[in-house]
Amino acid sequence: MLIESSEILSSCKAALLRRLKVAGRTMLHLDSPVVSGPPVFNRGPGDQARHLDVRDGDVERAEDGWIGRDRDGRFDAAAGTVDIIWADQGLERLWPEQIVVFLSEARRLLSAGGVLILAGTNREVAGPAPRPARPVELTWAEAVALVQAAGFDITRPKGLLLARGPDGEPLEAVSDPSSAVFDMVTRAVAGADAPERSLVWWAEVRPSDRAVDVEHMDVLLQRAAAATARNSLALTDVSAASLPEGTVRVGRRLPLRAGRYRATVHVQRSGKASAPSSGVIEARVGSDEVVAQAQVDASSVGSRAWVPVHLEFELERPVDNFDVLFTPSGAGDIRVRPELDVASIFWKPMQAALA
């Protein structure tokens, strides 16, 4: 099951939103209006809805409904003027420093009785379940600590889809397809009071009297991002079916920050040296933007030792889907594998001296 596309999860969120109690109706959405959440807030004709895009670096964005940022990075909205900020799972698509900006600004913008709605994949519970890799996934304990450091109190914690028992052991999925829907609904109900044991946590949070602790937020998020990176290597690749015939993915499709990088891939010849074989290794952004490329010839590759091939490139912006692909040709066989470095997911930012 793809966590983010579950109909049960969407239904749970819609039910929680219908019970949302807040006096005003001025709303902000994190991210694009296309993915701004289900229309269950029951907004009236006089309600206002605008959109935030923390990932967009253009401070002069002018599209209708979008809130831009001034030269100091603050959103162009007065303090205490927003009643609802809907972030949902959009938070985990941001990098740590972007989350710090968003939560700090959310604290400033919310009215005294306003509410910020957050949700996230529970990294510890979800484990290697198939889903897109994200920059930051928070466990429930990390989410609670982050919310408190951001100057909020959690007023309504919920769990969506129970996945572990009281002893912490994973719950077994039902084997009978006819019972699958009933099982999911049962887990949705059972997980409501156990966010720490559910696939997705949900939190309605409101401003507290505590000051925002930016340094603590940054430490929490950097640790969570490193743990997320390690976990991402074990995720099932849900996009492999979309690759061209004969092409294989080296490693794992992952998000990547802006910066200069060196991707290292190891190659090894398999079979007879006389069998003609070659191939091309490409570093790509999205489905078709090639940022680096290297040709591989089996005649120069040993059959025992792995030979490193380096791809150096620069990204001017953060990307959601960075790939390293290998397409072989010829009758022979070439094995490929990435250099797995836990700290940097084998995509190593180059030193400033190399700039």
Q: What is the pLDDT of residue 224?
A: 95
Over the stretch 278-289, which tens digit does the pLDDT of each residue have? 888 898 888 789
The 3-state secondary structure of 13-63, one letter per residue: HHHHHHCCCCCCCEEEEECCHHHCCCCCCCCCCCCEEEEECCCCCCCCCCC
Q: Which of 91, 203, 201, 196 is nearest to 136 (CA)?
A: 91
**Predicted TM-score of the model (pTM):** 0.78
**Residue type for position 192:** A
Q: What is the pLDDT of residue 116?
A: 94
Q: What is the pLDDT of residue 52?
A: 60
Residue 285, Cβ neighbours under 10 Å: how many?
17
**Cα diameter, the chain:** 76
Helix, strand, coil percent content, the chain, rounded in steps of 5: 30, 35, 40
Over the stretch 159-209, which tens digit does the pLDDT of each residue have? 988 888 888 787 776 555 555 666 767 777 778 899 999 999 999 999 999
Residue 192, Cβ neighbours under 10 Å: how many?
18
Kindly give the parts of the chain with pLDDT less than 50: 1-5, 32-44, 57-64, 340-355
Q: What is the pLDDT of residue 40?
A: 40
Q: 95 by DSSP, 3-state: which?
A: coil
Rounded CA-CA distance 199/127 in Å is 9
- In Å, how far from its chain's centre is CA 76? 26
Q: What is the pLDDT of residue 185?
A: 73
Q: What is the pLDDT of residue 136?
A: 94
Domains of the chain by start residue, with CATH? 3-232 (3.40.50.150), 240-354 (2.60.120)
- Tokens 């670096």 label which residue? 57
